Chains A and B, each alone.
Chain A
Amino acid sequence: MNQDIFFPLVLSLKVSFLAVCCAGVPAVWFAHIMARKKGMFSAFMDSLCTLPLVLPPTVLGYFLILLLGKKGILGSWLNAYGIQIMFTWQGAVIACTVVIFPLIYKYSRVAFSQVDQKLQDSAATLGASEFKIFFTVSLPLALKGIFAGIMLAFARGLGEFGATLMIAGNIPYKTQTLALAIYASFQNGDDENALFLVLITSLLCIAVLCIAEYCLEKKMVFKNL
């Protein structure tokens, strides 16, 4: 396969996969905490977690630059240790993580809140610790929703553009993901390449969503739920 296509494809898969790994654990953990919480503070925290979903990608990218840029709050400190985030593929992972976090969080929160409280109470009266209740009751019963959120987040990550462009730039063979390569090809008038990349991206996203749907419908992983 042509390197112009192969590199963005592999990078997109790598960035999206790593972003799901980075966002997954905190999003699921926080969703579990927030699932039964009510009140103003909980509503505020929930809004904060959902914010990347509704903010324009440029605004999100700008916030990330304020944080991770050379003169940013965290960026200047990292820079002192020789760690560069801006214009690297790692920066793309961070941007993608922030963008997909709300998807995993929202799906997981709904999934956890739908777990029957009685089952958790029942486990508690059987002597199970909070840790055991989470791993043996709450998590397995919410897994279907969490899995749907993760797959959707992965597909979304493959197409991430705005925040990634602002943080990682659009450097061929370095930070150029599929979405950025399409933009670059289109800008350069290489319509053939752009169309090919568009088709690949579309097919990839459809494949991910179909696999997710198939797994959920066939109850491959989630028997008896």
Chain B
Amino acid sequence: MLTVRIQKQFRSSVSDFFLNTDFTLRKEDGTAVFFGASGSGKTLTFQGISGLYKPDRAFIKFRNTLFCDTEKNIFLPAQQRKISYVFQDYALFPHLTVLQNVAYAKSGLWVKFLSKSIKEECLELLKQFRIENLKNHYPSQLSGGQKQRAALARAILAKSELLFLDEPFSALDPLLRETMRRELLANLQKTAIPAVLITHDPEDVLFFADTLIIFKDGTTQKIEHVKKQGLTEQTIKPFLLDLLK
């Protein structure tokens, strides 16, 4: 179970933004999707749960681990939260090969030197993701789809307990998205790590969401059993598109 209550005032020279999220995701909620317009607070919520900034007021708990409780002055650093975060542009390390990127969580200070066992484990994973032939390529030499597979493989090898995917298809060609959605779903089912996705594409919601967290101006609203309700493209799409306006 993931309980999230975050309050944070973000100030900038252009405008201020107040994030005020409050929701709980249970195991039976399945794959959750954060949906909302750009600037509604989805990524900030991901970052808050991952421990990438300190909220003003917050209570974040995942299973039995308290990530953050501002009242008790508890703040667990990102390193200890066991959340893998696949960034929108995948954030692969440009100076490391695909193999070194995937092995990062298990490698030591000398990331270019990998022990035989880690190498074998990585190669097995690369094989599973069909990028074994790209193991010595650098991120700049990969296509969008290949980058996504490498980033996902890297996140999975970190043996995290929760997987965050921030707009996983936004950097992809529209024609490739459909294929990549199926591939990602298959991979998520294979890894069995609970995943949360961010999107502002109604197609992604229809494809992945068991539970929907709607973001609007920094606040959240939860919609459960999206798939079980038998919502179709015709019924949910106008509602979602209306939220983006």
Chain A residues in contact with chain B, CB under 8 A? 116, 118-119, 121-129, 131-132, 135-137, 140-141, 222-225
For B87, list chain A residues within 8 Å (CB). 118, 121-122
A126 to B111 Cα, complex, angstroms:
13
For A116, list chain B residues within 8 Å (CB). 91
A96 to B208 Cα, complex, angstroms:
62
Q: Could you tell me if A128 and B79 are in contact, using CB atoms closer than 8 angstroms? A: yes
Q: Please pick, from A125, A127, A140, the residue contacting B95 in the complex, using a CB distance under 8 A.
A: A140
Q: Could you tell me if B91 and A224 are in contact, using CB atoms closer than 8 angstroms? A: no
Q: Could you tell me if B50 and A126 are in contact, using CB atoms closer than 8 angstroms? A: no
User: Which has the most chain B C-beta neighbours within 10 Å: A116, A126, A140?
Assistant: A126
A131 to B104 Cα, complex, angstroms:
14
Q: Please pick, from A126, A136, A137, A224, the residue contacting B140 in the complex, using a CB distance under 8 A.
A: A224
Q: Does B39 contact A (CB under 8 A)?
A: no
Q: Could you tell me if A124 and B95 are in contact, using CB atoms closer than 8 angstroms? A: no
Q: Does B129 contact A (CB under 8 A)?
A: no
For B154, list chain A residues within 8 Å (CB). 126
Chain A: which residue is nearest B107 at the CB level? A136
Q: Could you tell me if A125 and B84 are in contact, using CB atoms closer than 8 angstroms? A: yes
A129 to B105 Cα, complex, angstroms:
10
Asked, given contacts A121-B52, A123-B104, A127-B105, whether A137 binds B93 with beta carbons under 8 Å apart, the answer is yes
Q: Could you tell me if B77 and A125 are in contact, using CB atoms closer than 8 angstroms? A: no
For A137, list chain B residues within 8 Å (CB). 93
For A222, list chain B residues within 8 Å (CB). 95
Instruction: Report the 5 A-B pairs with minimum CB-CB distance, sorted nearest first.
Output: A122-B91, A124-B78, A125-B85, A126-B105, A224-B138
A141 to B94 Cα, complex, angstroms:
8
For B93, list chain A residues within 8 Å (CB). 119, 122-123, 136-137
Contact flags (1/0) for B76-103 with A, using CB distance below 8 Å? 0111111111010101011100000000
A58 to B11 Cα, complex, angstroms:
45
For B138, list chain A residues within 8 Å (CB). 223-224
Distance in Å from the Cβ of A83 to the closest Cβ of chain B? 36
Number of interface residues of B (CB under 8 A): 30
For A122, list chain B residues within 8 Å (CB). 85, 87, 91, 93
Distance in Å from the Cβ of B138 to the closest Cβ of chain A? 4
User: Which has the most chain A C-beta neighbours within 10 Å: B50, B81, B104, B155?
Assistant: B104
Q: Does B158 contact A (CB under 8 A)?
A: yes
Q: B residues 1-58 with Cβ under 8 Å of A?
A: 47, 50-52
Chain B: which residue is nearest A222 at the CB level? B95
For A124, list chain B residues within 8 Å (CB). 51-52, 77-79
Q: Does B109 contact A (CB under 8 A)?
A: yes
Q: B residues 194-210 with Cβ under 8 Å of A?
A: none
For A223, list chain B residues within 8 Å (CB). 95, 138
Supply 20 A–B pairs (Cβ within 8 Å), ascending by A. A116-B91, A118-B91, A119-B94, A121-B50, A121-B52, A122-B85, A124-B52, A124-B79, A125-B52, A125-B78, A125-B79, A126-B84, A126-B155, A126-B158, A127-B79, A127-B105, A128-B104, A131-B109, A224-B94, A224-B138
